[in-house]
Amino acid sequence: MTEMTAVPVARTAVGPDDGAAATPNRPPRDWVTVGLWIALLVTAAFWLVPFAVMVLTSFKSRADLVSGSTLGLPAQWLWSNYADAVDTGDLWISGTNSLLVAVIKVPLGLLLAALAAYALARIHMRRAKWIVAVFAVGSMVPIQVALGPMFQLLLKANLLDTYVGLILPYLAFGVPYQVFMLYGSFRAVPDEIEESARLDGASTFRIFWQICCPLIKPTLAALFVLDFVSTWNEYAMASTILQSGSMATIPLAVQNFSAQHGTDYGPLNAFIIMTAIPVLIVYLLFQRYFVSGAFSGAVKG
Amino acid sequence: MATATTASAHARAVRQHRVLRSLPYLAPAALLYGIFLLYPMIDSVRLSFFSWSGYATAPQEFVGLKNYRYLLTQDTVFWTALRNSMIWVVLSVAIPMVLSLLMALALNQRIWGRNAFRSIFYIPSVFASITVAAIWRWIYNPTMGVINQALEAIGLGDLAHEWLGDPRTALYSIFVASVWQGVGFNMVLFLAGLQSVPAELVDAARVDGAGRWQVFRNVTWPALRPTTIVVVILTIINSLKVYDLVVGMTGGGPAQSSQVLALWSYQQSFSNHNFGAGGAVATVLLILSLCLVVPYLAWSMKGDD
């Protein structure tokens, strides 16, 4: 699978262009580009305001917030807000919980989804398509549709407020989307590659693990990022299943923090910034897979 | 005759062999999916025909369509939630979708700072919705919030407002936060779709003297059609799922003015201890989702035996 980079629609937009000299009646494209750039700059400025507010607020004292403008610089940079946030928000406890859940759930879920998608795409069963469709439906219904009975189920199984009780539903809700995406990728693997491996005596699992999975690495990487981010950020299910403070994941900790210390805006914003760092790191590490791998399958490219 | 029989017997054996061979691969995912997603989903529909407080010891009493009659005739919050969810769907298809398409078209050009722009627009979507809610509650703060301060600074102090505390503006204020958060993801989908626009066709059109608009109208837009369908479907589905932002910003208030279906289903079950009504709202939500999902799947799996 080749990694594509974005192909510019209008290649003639910027830079020296031999064609421009040949056709003197062309519209002055550079002005359009400049206008576009200014529009982007203005939009980006609006998009950055919430970040600026967050960062500036995280360094301000309460007195500073009351007296000055929210977008002004702090009178005194209060780094202690970060230390306060770690203490009052139990950052380490919720961070450990979230990390534990993500580290187990994300690779395991991706593996299970890949196995299932591989079987559906490559072992030519009748009605495989129907099974894919049944999986896909699950990826598109709102979680709330299942929360009530899910709570009852976990209550009966004595799994409420446990890691297992959270990870099992997380796996179930992650699998359908991933099966749907991976099914498309596995189908794109040429039959000849698999056949020649089979002639060489490779087992089905070996073909899956050593031949097909490496070929669809961009999709797997993109799904890994998406799944890590959505697992780290999940709130609705966690708030239903987890009850004690010592089990709280990061989104629950943010919500608890803002409910209990809602007026400590400095520490609250410091807390929010710290909780977003792991997903930002993952995003930056895997950024290059984003436009290329992840969605070319999704959009039937 | 004899060979035909052995041939079909052989084919059957191969088929059975395939099913058996695929089972170990398929079973773990299928079991999890069945137990923790399909079963609770179907059980929600079942519960919508029962009256139940949710306590394990309390009896579940079959009441037929009573929960639905209650929703449609007595539960005024349900209608508000349904209306708000529909408003959300329409606004989402109109505003962030068009915005994200424009952003993708602009950022598909070789433009200075392209990667920085892409990151700025995309990064809000890696934030947890519940976090975005906390950020925007601060932005909407009546006295210290940046919006009211900015309005005063530019002499429009009269417009300063308790954005989340006013029933007329609460829903739309939450929606603005969702645009900020969600537009980047759609932008990336459109950017991916733009890769399927054949560059030769664009060049050919340009050589023939087509302007920007003509190239977009006749080459880019038709090639983007499949992407657009995916984005529309995802947008509508995500609109029906809106929950975290509302919980984090208003909890459905003030006076239920920003209530949405997903949250109302949850509150009927868990806050009001009326799992029957909660199941009925969930069923309505499920039917709305399936009305979209089933045709979409039929389209997306077509010609893909």
**What is the pLDDT at residue B158?**
79
Q: Report chain A residues whose CB lies below 8 A from the CB of B29.
A: 112-113, 115-116, 135, 175, 179
Residue A290, both tokens: 């984003």
Higher model confidence: residue A169 or residue A16?
Answer: A169
Q: Which amino acid is at A97?
A: N
Residue A131, both tokens: 């099974």
| Neighbouring-strand partners of residue B51 | B61
> E strands along chain A, which residues?
none
- How much is the mean pLDDT over chain A? 83
**CA atoms B279, A134, A219, B25: torsion sign:** positive
- Characterize the bridge pairing of strands B61-62 and B50-51: antiparallel
Give the number of C-alpha atoms closer than 13 A to the C-alpha of residue A243, restricted to the C-beta side. Answer: 8
Tens digits of residue pLDDT in A34-83: 888 999 999 999 999 999 999 999 999 888 888 878 788 888 888 888 99
Q: Is B62 helix (H, G, I), strand (E, B) or coil?
A: strand
**What is the pLDDT at residue A74?**
85
Residue A172, both tokens: 């179930």
Q: How far apart are CA A160 and CA A239, in angstroms?
A: 11
**What is the pLDDT at residue B304?**
54
Kindly tell me if the per-residue pLDDT of A21 is higher than 70.
Answer: no
Contact A32 B38 (CB under 8 A): no
Q: Which of B22, B26, B266 sits opposite A147 (nearest CB)?
A: B266
**What is the pLDDT at residue A151?**
92
Q: Report chain B residues whose CB lies below 8 A from the CB of A144.
A: 241, 243, 262-263, 265-266, 282, 285
Q: How far, rounded to the nearest angstrom, does the alpha carbon of residue A24 sit from its chain's CA centroid? A: 48
**What is the pLDDT at residue A11?**
31
Q: Which of A4, A5, A9, A123 would you mutate first to test chain B, the one with the most B CBs within 10 A?
A: A9
Kindly tell me if the per-residue pLDDT of A12 is higher than 50.
Answer: no
Residue A268, both tokens: 């609250």
Contact B146 A48 (CB under 8 A): no
Residue B2: band (very low, low, confident or very high) from pLDDT cuts 50, 70, 90: low
Kindly tell me if the per-residue pLDDT of A31 is higher than 60.
Answer: yes
Tens digits of residue pLDDT in A239-298: 999 988 899 999 999 999 988 887 788 999 999 999 999 999 988 887 777 655 444 444
| Neighbouring-strand partners of residue B50 | B62
Contact B282 A4 (CB under 8 A): no
Q: Which of A14, A140, A171 sits opposite B32 (nearest CB)?
A: A171
Q: Report chain A residues whose CB lies below 8 A from the CB of B113.
A: 37
ipTM associated with this complex: 0.88
- Calculate mean pLDDT across residues B51-75: 87
Residue A100, both tokens: 């534990």
Q: Which of A141, A159, A205, A296 would you mutate first to test chain B, the one with the most B CBs within 10 A?
A: A141
Q: How far apart are CA A184 and CA A173, in angstroms?
A: 19
Tens digits of residue pLDDT in A76-87: 888 888 998 898
User: What angle do helix axes A163-187 and A144-156 make, rounded to 10 degrees?
Assistant: 130
- How much is the mean pLDDT over chain B? 88
Tens digits of residue pLDDT in B193-243: 888 888 888 888 888 888 888 888 888 898 898 889 889 988 998 999 999
Contact B134 A129 (CB under 8 A): no
Q: Any chain B CB within 8 A of the CB of A69?
A: yes
**What is the pLDDT at residue A249?**
95
Tens digits of residue pLDDT in B233-275: 889 989 999 999 999 999 998 999 999 999 999 999 999 999 9
